């Protein structure tokens, strides 16, 4: 069984960590019967009508467990995790739901709306239904992004992985076969859209971040010549 845990707005503009990092750190708090399958960053609408820290993104940790009775423990641990790590002045929100919950379709619809229009806390609460949704400081606006993170990740067609199989420990150049062994599909997005051979190499530019496409991690690449490929996008350099 999968469990989706959405975090949002746990940082401030001058803090040394963001919501994505807090979501990744939650792995250290998990009980033995749980494991992190991946952590996904979700991009929400950018608008002057929305108050956000820097990029209006939220994050969702995807857990795998065989014990549905663990939900209450996960909620308690996630709340303590936020209380321990959030930055004063932020507006943290938390949403937790398992994949069989009847409100999941409502969360998906709400998540997609958050990429296209301005929404309210009341609408987030309505979309969450009987799932766990809680605010933990400030205006509690973080509940909106937390719901959106869960909904978009469960939807499976948006966002990028910020953790999956120790992405950050991989070398800059990787064989297609190695990526596939990690569970990452490598897909050409150039004009010919050809199939990559296992021995071909991918230059990640030191920033391996697959997309969440079709509910799985997919690495879009373009051809660089001589059997070498390059990932699209690269790490944003801080000013």
Whole-number pLDDT of residue 15? 67
Tokens of 109: 């619809």
Look at residues 161, 190, 217 and tell me which one is the last residue of a structural domain: 161
Checking if the pLDDT of 227 tops 90, the result is no
Q: What single DSSP character describes residue 194?
A: P
Checking if the pLDDT of 195 tops 70, the result is yes
* pTM, entire model: 0.93
Same-domain check for residues 175 and 84: no
pLDDT-derived band at 49, boundaries 50, 70, 90? low
Contacts of 50 (CB under 8 A, 6+ apart): 44, 56, 118
Q: What CATH number did the domain enclosing 65 receive? A: 3.30.70.2200
Residue 43: inside a domain: yes
Checking if the pLDDT of 238 tops 60, the result is no
Whole-number pLDDT of residue 117? 94
Whole-number pLDDT of residue 145? 95
For residues 87 and 124, the model is more confident at: 124
Distance CA 74, CA 174 (A): 35
Whole-number pLDDT of residue 12? 65
Mean pLDDT of 86-99: 91
Same-domain check for residues 28 and 50: yes
Residue 157: inside a domain: yes
Distance CA 191, CA 188 (A): 9
Return the residue matching tokens 């999956």.
Answer: 164
Helices (H), 131-182: 142-155, 176-181
Residue 199: inside a domain: yes
Q: What one-character-per-residue DSSP string does 60-94 give?
A: EEEEEES-GGGHHHHHHHHHHHHHHHPPTT---EE
At 37, give phi and psi (nearest 5°). Answer: -80, -40
Same-domain check for residues 108 and 132: yes
Residue 238: inside a domain: no
Distance CA 70, CA 27 (A): 15
pLDDT in tens, 57-86: 999 999 999 998 999 999 999 999 999 998
Same-domain check for residues 145 and 180: no
Same-domain check for residues 209 and 100: no
Residue 237: inside a domain: no
pLDDT in tens, 211-224: 999 999 999 999 98
Q: Tell me what the pLDDT averaged over the chain comes to.
A: 92
Checking if the pLDDT of 239 tops 50, the result is no
Helix (H) or strand (E) holding 57: strand 57-65
Same-domain check for residues 66 and 125: yes
For residues 127 and 52, the model is more confident at: 127
Q: Could you tell me the residue range of the domain that residue 218 belongs to?
A: 170-231
Same-domain check for residues 145 and 189: no
* C-alpha atoms less than 13 angstroms from C-alpha of 46 in its C-beta half-sphere: 6
Same-domain check for residues 194 and 106: no
Percent of the chain topping pLDDT 70: 92
Checking if the pLDDT of 237 tops 90, the result is no
Look at residues 134, 161, 188 and tell me which one is the last residue of a structural domain: 161
Number of CB atoms found within 10 A of residue 153's CB: 30
């Amino acid at each position: 069984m999968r469990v989706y845990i959405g975090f949002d707005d746990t940082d401030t503009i001058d803090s040394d960590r963001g919501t994505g990092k807090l979501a990744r750190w939650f792995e250290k708090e998990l009980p033995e019967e749980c494991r992190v399958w991946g952590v996904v960053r979700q991009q929400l609408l950018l608008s002057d009508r929305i108050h956000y820290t820097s990029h209006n993104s939220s994050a969702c940790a995807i857990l795998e467990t065989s014990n549905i009775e663990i939900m209450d423990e996960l909620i308690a641990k996630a709340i303590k995790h936020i209380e321990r790590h959030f930055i004063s002045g932020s507006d943290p929100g938390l949403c937790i739901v398992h994949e069989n919950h009847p409100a999941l379709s409502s969360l998906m619809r709400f998540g997609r709306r958050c990429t296209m229009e301005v929404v309210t806390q009341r609408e987030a609460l309505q979309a969450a239904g009987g799932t766990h949704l809680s605010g933990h400081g400030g205006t509690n606006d973080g509940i909106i992004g937390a719901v959106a993170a869960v909904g978009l990740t469960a939807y499976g067609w948006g966002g990028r992985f910020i953790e999956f199989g120790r992405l950050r420990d991989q070398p800059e150049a990787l064989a297609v076969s190695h990526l596939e062994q990690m569970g990452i599909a490598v897909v050409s997005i150039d004009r010919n859209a050809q199939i990559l051979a296992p021995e071909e190499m991918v230059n990640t530019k030191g920033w391996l971040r697959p997309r969440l496409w079709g509910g799985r991690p997919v690495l879009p690449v373009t051809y660089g010549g001589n059997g070498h490929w390059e990932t699209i996008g690269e790490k944003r350099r801080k000013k």
